[in-house]
Amino acid sequence: MPTLWFILVAFMLSVYVLLDGFDLGAGVIHLFAAKTNQERRAILQAIGPVWDGNEVWLIAAGGTLFFSFPVLYASSFGGFYLPLIIVLWLLILRGVAIELRSHIQNPLWTSFWDAAFFLGSTLLVIFYGAALGNVVRGVPLDKQGHFFEGLWTNFDPFSLSPGILDWYTILIALLALVTLTAHGANFIAVKTEDPLNARCRRISRQAWLATVVLAVGATVATFFVQPQMRIGYDSRPWGVIFPIIALGGLIGMGYYNSRQRDRAAFLASSAFILGMLISTAFGLYPDVLPAVTPANSLTVTNASTSQYGLVVGLAWWSFGMVLAIIYFVFIYRLFRGKVQVMDRGGY
């Protein structure tokens, strides 16, 4: 049962990155792909009906993490206090920017919120990447399951008291940035027409090239920084399917982009993201939060709640997920197709 919930929580977090990832990616490319007010509004209208629902996956994943692994939730949220609060501030900035931009028709107002949308989205992606890097690298947990990391110490991931930022987590942050840039560009390309579409394809290609380089570098670095990964894959070799999916996605991103098939490119970047995240979770299992001193690591067994709680949760969670998927399919189908921006109204 704890293993099942490990899978479900990892699934929810991955879906969050997949969905809100393209909202964030849209924010990263916003100032570069869209040159006119009409084009900027097109980007916002592309994500407009779905961004809030996408963000809910973060809250739902967090809540699910809380009840299934309360010890992990308590320990990690306390230990990652500073970057988490900063992420909250950035989520506020990003959300407000999307919603408020269209409420006053003034060029200074709209330019300001365009910049805020870009800044909030970009920094969020960087922080998310660094957060993932921290989870993989391991944190200075003590025997009681507590830790606290300052934003940086000496930038050395092998230190006994690492900070949130070191060269490894920054590498992962940059990988996240280029990946979600491509992913966001792919989504906007699907939803828009020329010239926005053409610019998105170009950005997607450039981001993809950077992703290839950084993905290779990050994968190599990960096996050095977190030996548990090797052990994880050696003991369960069938798990190599997940990195293969990621690789397939990575190749697909470039292939379909060059063939100008936007929807396929988007599915490929989705596969890459899912493959990478699930590969990471698979490699770390049964740790949920590795510690610098391995004996102190939080695992699926020592961080989960009672059997009864997990079983009860499964019942209502399954019901809730079915409903959520129905809503999502419904909404995405309703709003399918290219956006066209009229002179007024909407975003």
Partner 1 sequence: MDNATLVSRIQFAFTVAFHYLFPQLTMGLALLLLILKTLYLLRKDERYNTAARFWARIFAISFVMGVVTGIPMEFQFGTNWARFSAFAGGIIAQTLAMEGAFAFFLESAFLGIFLFGEQVFGQKMHWFSAFMVWLGTWLSGAFIIASNAWMQHPVGYTVGSHGQLILSNYWAVLFNPWIGPQYLHTMSGSVITASFAMAGLGAYYLLAQQHSDYGRLFVTLAVIVGLIASIIQLYPSGDMEGRQVTVYQPIKLAAMEGLFHTEAGAGIIVIGQPDPTKGTLDNPFIVPNVLSFLTYRRWTAVVKGLDAFPRIQWPDTITLLYYSYHIMVGLGTFFIVIMGLACILLWRRWLFRSRWMLWILLLATPFPFIANTAGWFTTELGRQPWIVYGLLRTSQGTTLLSSGNVVFTLLGFMGMYLLLSLLYVVLVIYEALRGPVVEETPVPTGPKGQTAFSDELL
Where in 141-180 is the site for partner 1 (CB under 8 A)?
146, 148
User: 10 Å Cβ neighbour count for 232?
Assistant: 20
Output the six-digit token pair for 268: 């490929």
Q: Which of 108, 194, 238, 306 binds partner 1 (CB under 8 A)?
A: 306
75 is a site residue for partner 1 (CB under 8 A): yes
Q: Which stretch binds partner 1 (CB under 8 A): 93-101, 158-166, 249-257, 277-285?
A: 93-101
Closest to partner 1 by CB, 76 vs 279, is 76
What are 91's strand-pairing partners?
none
Q: Which of residues 213-252 bind partner 1 (CB under 8 A)?
A: none
d(C-alpha 227, C-alpha 238), whole Å: 18
Whole-number Cα distances in Å, 119 to 13, 26, 204, 217: 23, 12, 19, 26
Question: Can residue 63 be called a binding residue for partner 1 (CB under 8 A)?
Answer: yes
Strand partners, 61: none
Considering only 11, 32, 52, 111, the residue that binds partner 1 (CB under 8 A) is: 52
**Residue 313 is a binding residue for partner 1 (CB under 8 A):** yes
Q: Which amino acid is at 199?
A: R
Task: Round to whole Å and give the CA distance between 272 and 25.
Answer: 15
195 lies in the site for partner 1, by CB under 8 A: no
99 near partner 1, judged by CB under 8 A: yes
Contact window for partner 1 (CB under 8 A) among 27-35, 217-225, 275-283, 302-310: 302-310
**Is 294 an interacting residue with respect to partner 1 (CB under 8 A)?**
no
Please count the other Cβ atoms lying within 10 Å of the Cβ belonging to residue 234.
Answer: 9
Q: Does 108 bind partner 1 (CB under 8 A)?
A: no
Question: Which backbone phi and psi does 340 adopt, to 5 degrees?
Answer: -130, 130
The verdict on 332 binding partner 1 (CB under 8 A) reads yes
Q: How far is the CB of 36 from partner 1 (least distance, A)?
A: 16
State how far the Cα of 184 lies from the Cα of 21, in Å rounded to an integer.
7
